[in-house]
Structure 1
Amino acid sequence: MPPSPTGPPPADGLLSAARRNLRELAHGLSHASHPPTPLFADSPRRWLRLLPYAVVLALAAAFIPVTIQVLTDDYGVHGVVAGALAVGQAVPLLMLAHRPLQAWWIVFTSDIVGALVLLARPEQPGNIWPWTPPVIIGYLFVLLALGLRESRHTVIGVWLATGAAGALLHLIAPVRSDGGALLLFVLGAVVLVIGASVRERGEAQRRLAEQSSISEAERAQRTLLEERTRIARELHDVVAHHMSVITVQADSAPYRVGGLSEEAQAEFASIAAGARESLAEMRRLLSVLRSDGSPGELAPQPGLDRVQQLVEATVRAGLPAELSMTTDVREALERGGVPQAVDLSAYRIVQEALANVVRHAPGARTRVSVTARDGHLTVLVVNEEARKPGSPLETSGTGHGLVGMRERVRLTGGTLDTGPLPDGGFRVAARLPLPPDRPPSPSVTPEES
């Protein structure tokens, strides 16, 4: 019978998984899973960065004399041998701050050597074997450092190696063994689980913070693109108006201007045809930008002539606001001296600034000022601190408001200044360029626009 096409027999699968796990455990015991940097190395606080070094220095300073005293007084080990074992078992604790796996190898080997040395000494009543009390306590600190720094495979490998060493020593001298190996095996598991849990929780929080940063950047980019799309929709109407004017002027030139040559009439006809083609391309682009099908987008775009209505509507909504518009601005609007892009941008800036006041500072007295001076249109919206008790309508916004203001100002070549005021209010100041005085554009029929 041919072999089953679904895969190898279960026995082969179990053997392959066992070999793979053993290779991973061996790799974990021989290769550190982190660079040789201490805990809290990235902390902005200096005392926190120095804390691991202070802890390991205190551990080594405490365990070296204690280990020597316990070995000489309780186990009867010669002073030189006790000192050598203390160095091997306690001095590597200094490496726990940055190289805990290497420190474990040294301590693990020294502890086994120490157990064999104690095996050659006469048994003393009340002494535990194979691990002395300083060995158990110091080894738990080593395991805690491993749990905080190393991977799961390394931690499991260290725990199994500790249990295997204790079991082997118990088999060598079962009469001398009194449960110290089992005690270290159980306590080591608890310490490793605690350390690994703390490490994995910290890694999860770090990944969450990184994902939050990425999401925030993506949200800001999406907001920027949405605002640019919205501005493009509105500016289509502005540019379409001027292209329609060009078309009307080019078509009517042979009738308005007498004595034109055939070459001039052909040139005007070519200009009108190019303008119509450009209008058709823009309409196709607009159909893509308006793919969401919102009918409000098809309405005529507002301008500074509707700022007064905007302020009055805001006052009716409960926000005390007042408008100041100089005569120069009104005259510029009447003679067509304000470009439609600047006109629309100024209106949207005032609209968004007032909306932000309603959201974040309800009831705050607000002043709107529109002036024209030195070839620039200045839009200033200043609100005082909120006077109505209670929390703002929105504690956090989408970011569309200021992003849209900046994009509009950048598009017209102006400058924008926003920021809080010392008295608790907020200020939005936009400076938009105006062209030199020019005659107003001729009217255009609805069919051409």
Structure 2
Amino acid sequence: MSDRPRIRPGRRNRERPRTPEAAGPGVAAQLGVLLRTPARAAEPLLAQAPRPWQRMLPFAVVGVFVVTLLPVTITVLTLNYGLGGGWSGALGVAQTVPLLLAVTRPVRAWAVVLLADTVGALLLVQADHVASCPWPWPPMTIVGYLLLMVCLGLRESVRTMVGVWLATGAVGGALEFFRPAGASTTSALLFVLAGVMLALTGALRGYGDAQRRIAEQETISEAERARRTLLEERARIARELHDVVAHHMSVITVQADSAPYRLPGMAEPVQEEFAAIAASARESLGEMRRLLTVLRGDGTERAEGEKAPQPGIDRLQQLVEATVRAGQPVELSLTAGAAGAARTAPPAVDLSAYRIVQEALANVVRHAPGAATRVSVTVDADEVLVLVVNGPARGAVVALEGSGTGHGLVGMRERVRLTGGTLDTGPLPDGGFRVAARLPLNDATRETA
């Protein structure tokens, strides 16, 4: 047929997940990425960052500080404090180069730097010009030490940070007993600044950990929600199929029980065979009823709506008319004799075609109210083709409903997979949406699909 809707497999509505780095190149987005990727034990800072430049950023920052502080420290100790050139060089290397270790092992770097700073403070007691300079921590020492506090705050636990802070204050207090006459003390300054840096970076690290846990929980919740939706939809399909299969099993039971009366003169073994068939059919009906009770989740009676006969293609006209009365413009196109031909189709295919159209129209009403919609159902000797296409919603912006259960597309996929068919869904260039399903009517077509 020339008017058969063409289904183009392979096109899917694949929405890319919204990751922090996909939010844009803004500073807030990049900060969110860095805060969500803290380093693990024995790993460099930001080792879990998504981009290479972000992983190299801590090494670059610390390297710039070391290259800058090393010559400045040697120069200041030699010229301002009057310390010998050899001692100035040794102290400059001992106080700055270990900062490179802070990227991977900040506690060890802190221990080495604190020891070097303490030795340097004791050596400066005998320097020529120390009386007019800050002591025991020169300005370069304070800058390097604060950088070390940043690395500690982003990496270590609260207990470790408190211990480092108290040790800094204890060493500074102990050095006050050796303070040279006339020197301005910097022990309290470093103690306060170190506490502030540890508090700020620790708070940032805590915020990043909280954001990461929230993201992980959202991922788990989304996966659990999708799994629950799939199970609920399968249970609903199973309940509907029970009504279809139970009818046929009841017919088999009645035919097997009435066979001896309808066919007189039947041999005894044949009568026993029919009795066995009837017993098996009744037992199967009982098993299905018990399974249905489990699927419902309780032992209550079925609702009145579930007692009604299951709909099919012959009920699509009423469905479309009800949707039109609700204010949604829908046009229905059925091939000649589609409703009659559908009566001979397997019940699962007939019911699935109706449910696919029903769920597609429900999605249009929720997400594109007022959009022109066309429903086309084609039934031939081999398959049923269902096509639902809607245009863009009326108005410039339409907010999608966020309270849905997500059963629409899940239910369509489950029904199509049940019948061995194919489903193709996806957006259209003009802003509309398309749902196309192919439901085989026989085993040969199903195997081909």
Length-normalised TM-score, structure 2: 0.85
2:188 is matched by which residue type in structure 1? Answer: L
Query: Which one of 409, 429, 441 corresponds to residue 434 of structure 1?
Result: 441
Equivalent residue number for residue 150 of structure 2:
144
Change in CA separation of 1:121 and 1:194 when aligned onto 2, cut-off 3 Å: same
Distance 1:236 1:64 in 2: 81
Aligned length in residues: 403
Name which structure has the greater RCO, CA cutoff 8 Å, separation 6+.
Answer: 2
Query: Bigger shift: 289-298 or 91-100?
Result: 289-298
Query: Which one of 179, 190, 196 corresponds to residue 185 of structure 2?
Result: 179
SS of 1:416's partner is strand
Q: Deviations 1:390-422 (Å, cap 9, x if unpaired)?
A: 524614632111111111111121111111111
Q: Deviations 1:92-111 (Å, cap 9, x if unpaired)?
A: 22223222222212211110
Structure 2 contact 131–180 (Cα < 8 Å) conserved = no
1:306 is matched by which residue type in structure 2? Answer: R
Give the 5 Å matches for 1:103-122. Answer: 103-122=109-128
Distance 1:144 1:150 in 2: 10
Distance 1:312 1:392 in 2: 26
2:437 is matched by which residue type in structure 1? Answer: A
Equivalent residue number for residue 163 of structure 1:
169
Distance 1:184 1:224 in 2: 59
Equivalent residue number for residue 7 of structure 2:
none
Change in CA separation of 1:176 and 1:164 when aligned onto 2, cut-off 3 Å: farther
Offset at 1:356? 0.1
Give the 5 Å matches for 1:70-81. Answer: 70-81=76-87
Please list every run of 5 or more consecutive structure 2 residues that lacks an aligned counterpart in the other structure.
Answer: 1-38, 445-449
Equivalent residue number for residue 380 of structure 1:
387
Distance 1:220 1:39 in 2: 35
Equivalent residue number for residue 333 of structure 2:
324
Which is higher, the Rg of structure 1 or of structure 2? 1
Q: Deviations 1:40-79 (Å, cap 9, x if unpaired)?
A: 3333333322221221111011100110011001111111
Distance 1:136 1:397 in 2: 57
Change in CA separation of 1:184 and 1:436 when aligned onto 2, cut-off 3 Å: closer
Equivalent residue number for residue 413 of structure 1:
420
Q: Deviations 1:226-266 (Å, cap 9, x if unpaired)?
A: 11111111111011011011112212222333442111111
Equivalent residue number for residue 352 of structure 2:
345
Structure 2 contact 131–182 (Cα < 8 Å) conserved = no
Distance 2:182 2:131 in 1: 10
Q: RMSD value over aligned CA atoms?
A: 2.0
Offset at 1:173? 3.8
Query: Which one of 60, 72, 79 corresponds to residue 66 of structure 2?
Result: 60
Structure 1 contact 370–378 (Cα < 8 Å) conserved = yes
Distance 2:146 2:397 in 1: 54
Structure 1 contact 375–436 (Cα < 8 Å) conserved = no
Distance 1:39 1:328 in 2: 70
Structure 1 contact 337–434 (Cα < 8 Å) conserved = no
Distance 2:251 2:401 in 1: 44
Distance 1:240 1:321 in 2: 34
Query: Bigger shift: 319-328 or 231-240?
Result: 319-328
SS of 1:85's partner is helix
Distance 1:393 1:136 in 2: 55
Query: Which one of 135, 146, 159 corresponds to residue 141 of structure 2?
Result: 135
Distance 1:166 1:325 in 2: 89
Q: Is residue 288 of structure 1 aligned with residue 297 of structure 2? A: no
Q: Is residue 391 of structure 1 aligned with residue 382 of structure 2? A: no
Distance 1:136 1:44 in 2: 33
Give the 5 Å matches for 1:222-241. Answer: 222-241=228-247
Q: Is residue 207 of structure 1 aligned with residue 213 of structure 2? A: yes
Structure 2 contact 257–275 (Cα < 8 Å) conserved = yes
Offset at 1:220? 0.8
Change in CA separation of 1:135 and 1:393 when aligned onto 2, cut-off 3 Å: closer
Change in CA separation of 1:177 and 1:436 when aligned onto 2, cut-off 3 Å: closer
1:70 is matched by which residue type in structure 2? Answer: V
Distance 2:327 2:402 in 1: 19
Equivalent residue number for residue 34 of structure 2:
none
Distance 1:386 1:34 in 2: 48
2:311 is matched by which residue type in structure 1? Answer: P
Change in CA separation of 1:156 and 1:393 when aligned onto 2, cut-off 3 Å: closer
Offset at 1:370? 1.1
Offset at 1:274? 1.4
Equivalent residue number for residue 24 of structure 1:
none
Length-normalised TM-score, structure 1: 0.85
2:72 is matched by which residue type in structure 1? Answer: V
Offset at 1:328? 4.9
Offset at 1:298? 2.3
Structure 1 contact 337–435 (Cα < 8 Å) conserved = no
Change in CA separation of 1:234 and 1:432 when aligned onto 2, cut-off 3 Å: same
Change in CA separation of 1:36 and 1:228 when aligned onto 2, cut-off 3 Å: same
SS of 2:132's partner is coil
Offset at 1:193? 0.4
Distance 1:234 1:68 in 2: 84
Change in CA separation of 1:117 and 1:124 when aligned onto 2, cut-off 3 Å: closer
Structure 1 contact 362–388 (Cα < 8 Å) conserved = no
Distance 2:77 2:349 in 1: 88
Query: Bigger shift: 378-387 or 389-398?
Result: 389-398
Equivalent residue number for residue 279 of structure 2:
273
Query: Bigger shift: 71-80 or 43-52?
Result: 43-52
Please list every run of 5 or more consecutive structure 1 residues that lacks an aligned counterpart in the other structure.
Answer: 1-32, 438-449
Structure 1 contact 152–196 (Cα < 8 Å) conserved = yes
